Chains A and B, each alone.
Chain A
């Protein structure tokens, strides 16, 4: 029914790209972060304009000057970071900008049409609920409904599984298959090779803004795709030595923490981490991991319970004290929390340690020693920058992360808390950070690793705990790893019943 062809050439982020999607097909768009996938799709969605090249829909050339225009042409996009208005209801979000909505009481008409649409595609959502009350998977369904409501024939999904549990991802794949069978086309942007291979019919690989090739997924394997993505052989196994574990470094007992709204977000959590051990916490974001980390680093007061580092109680200590006791922290949103963007690199190099005697006297900063320290970090951790005097915001994401990692590690911590350390980084930087974490393990540092990337947790951790709604559902040792089991725990099925279900 609908055949869509797109050809463009584009200089800065996308170079001379030719891309083609057929009706009823799911095309994967694969590439590292920074390869140009999102830019390309933003062009298709009318958010950017290409410097040169053309787009054709059903053989007819079109010029997509704005999202409204793209939507009118039947193109819908579900962004990686949802573009929903949290404080509004689902109905209000879908009604926004809808051309056929009446001027008065627009939500009523939208509600009727929406119900019909939901029945067609089996996407169940209560339209009167506020968006902030929905889970990530449900919010994504709202985004899809939004696009379908506008009559999208082509649906673009940007990294859709990054916020989903394995079960929710399966649900998404089922929805996508159904959409494809109804004649819709889907472009599935991802950097996760396994997913792309499982759900897509064909896959186009981008690297450095250019198309490397397009293959049928039935006829290609993971290694080949990886090679296309990166341009060289990627070793999937990091060397992992046997390390003898030391004494307990971090001990958490019966921790209860409340979130900003006074609701319990960490509930009766207990675990411990030994020196030389990497302890992972899996689970979809929003189940208390952030509050747990904040409690451990002194950024959030705890309700009850105890936190001991090397035997000393830090339950009520300030971030400064905790840092001085050898606890380092790589924050979740590195640019947002880990750096002062307009300040220079050398000034950021001592963000937490600026009060240390090494770097300042009673009043004045010791610039000489600070700059020394900064230079050392930059060279040891291969941070690519012209000098240490430039503002931090001129660095790329991967380099900023390396700087933060260097800053945190150089303090010779006994405990490193790493929150989603490789999120959004390209393959090279990701491998680097992961190998650094493994090296820390060999130096008898205890590591607490929080990540949504199960692949990463499996690769690095000695033990993995799963958090759901503030509780630890279970702790699994490396030898007993079972991905399906973990996935079930992530959605709240208790460990024991999951085992029984499996029998």
Chain B
């Protein structure tokens, strides 16, 4: 029983890792006012590029880097369309999902079913990793998890207490005010979107290199969309993202746990999506509207400047 708890917690944290990574990235993007719905596509491309690169070169690090680059590149397209062309961000994001999913399907075609030769090993933190139970749960873990946790803290601090953070938040609240203070609104939005893309790519890399170690079409399974819901749930605050991501990680694990109970697998399969809906509802109820609202100009193309 004890080892079951340990395994469940361990697995929950791992399952929540790509969600945390994706959410952190999307938080930064949306804080700057850009709505990027293309996370599912960027994640898929991240997953396939990481897998194929690692398969071909044998290097996990290279796979991760390529995944980050791929995600960033895709987000650049969205940034161009949304910031420079000032087009409809919803439609652009949807196009990105289609493009990303299709591209990943094409790219990964010949790799379906072949397992990865190299493994991502759990990283054990000296000393802490030896603590019974807790050590196994938290400190003998997937390296991606450590990266995600650290990034979360960095992003939280960055947004709240640095100059960079004020700039990003101001651009999302009021591009007009920011521009009149000499901020290059376009640049900030481009960079924020690209950060989102990089993290989505990284999340995808985790999926194919660590979480499942194989490539299958559609392996992102809607996680990109869950990320977008989690961003709202987190009220655009990196610290709350932890809560949402690991809650969801738990749900994925729960699916497996409940199977032996005789509940039809398909009903269990609905669980993540149903809970996403509930999460969205809960996020809105009873919140101090002003302090926890979305960035004021989220999704609105900024039409100011030379006119």
A residues near B (Cβ < 8 Å) are 45, 47-49, 66-69, 71, 77, 79, 83-88, 92-93, 95-97, 101-107, 130, 132, 146, 261
Contacts and interface: CB of A to CB of B under 8 A. Distances in A.
Nearest to B182: A68
12 contacts: A83-B180, A85-B170, A85-B178, A86-B174, A93-B177, A95-B166, A97-B167, A97-B178, A97-B182, A103-B163, A103-B164, A261-B289
A132 B290 contact: yes
Nearest to B165: A106
Contact of B163 (A49, A69, A87, A101): A101
Interface of B: 161-164, 166-167, 169-170, 173-174, 176-183, 289-291, 293, 296, 305-307
A83 B162 contact: no
A97 B166 CA distance: 9
Given A96-B167, A103-B163, A107-B166, 16 more contacts: A48-B306, A66-B182, A68-B182, A77-B180, A84-B177, A85-B174, A85-B178, A86-B174, A87-B173, A87-B291, A87-B296, A93-B177, A96-B166, A97-B178, A97-B182, A103-B162
A96 B179 CA distance: 10
Nearest to A72: B182
A106 B163 contact: yes
B163 A85 contact: no
Contacts of A102: 163
Contact of B161 (A47, A77, A104): A104
Contacts of B182: 66-69, 71, 97
A69 B174 CA distance: 20
Among A87, A92, A106, A130, the one with the most B-chain Cβ atoms within 10 Å of its Cβ is A87
A88 B176 contact: no
B180 A79 contact: yes
B306 to A, nearest CB: 6
Contacts, number: 78
A132 B170 CA distance: 14
Given A96-B167, A96-B178, A104 B162 contact: yes
B188 to A, nearest CB: 11
A184 to B, nearest CB: 19
A103 B303 CA distance: 29
Which of A69, A88, A130, A261 gathers most chain B CB within 10 Å? A88
A261 B291 CA distance: 13
Binding site secondary structure of chain A: loop
B235 to A, nearest CB: 13
B97 to A, nearest CB: 28
B182 to A, nearest CB: 3
B297 to A, nearest CB: 10
Contacts of A47: 179-180, 305-306
A101 B174 CA distance: 20
A85 B177 contact: yes
Nearest to A77: B180
Contacts of B173: 85-88
B166 A83 contact: no
Contact of A67 (B164, B167, B179, B306): B179
A45 B183 CA distance: 14
A68 B166 CA distance: 17
B117 to A, nearest CB: 43
Nearest to B295: A87
A490 B182 CA distance: 36
B176 A92 contact: no
Nearest to A79: B180
Given A66-B182, A88-B173, A104-B161, A49 B306 contact: yes
Contacts of A97: 167, 178, 181-183
Contacts of A86: 173-174, 296
Contacts of B289: 261
B199 to A, nearest CB: 22
A67 B181 CA distance: 7
Nearest to B289: A261
B153 to A, nearest CB: 14
A107 B164 CA distance: 12
Contact of B290 (A87, A93, A95): A87
Given A101-B163, A103-B164, A104-B161, A88 B179 contact: no
A101 to B, nearest CB: 6
A10 to B, nearest CB: 14
A97 B181 CA distance: 6
B132 to A, nearest CB: 39
A85 B291 CA distance: 13
Contacts of A87: 173, 290-291, 293, 296
Contacts of B176: 83
B174 A83 contact: yes
A71 B181 CA distance: 8
A67 B180 contact: yes
Contacts of B293: 87
A96 B306 contact: no
Nearest to B307: A48
A80 to B, nearest CB: 12
Given A85-B173, A87-B173, A96-B167, A106 B180 contact: no
A79 B162 CA distance: 27
A92 B162 contact: no
Contacts of A106: 162-163, 166
A93 B182 CA distance: 13
A95 B177 contact: no
B160 to A, nearest CB: 10
Nearest to B293: A87
A95 B163 contact: yes
Contacts of B306: 47-49
Contacts of A146: 181
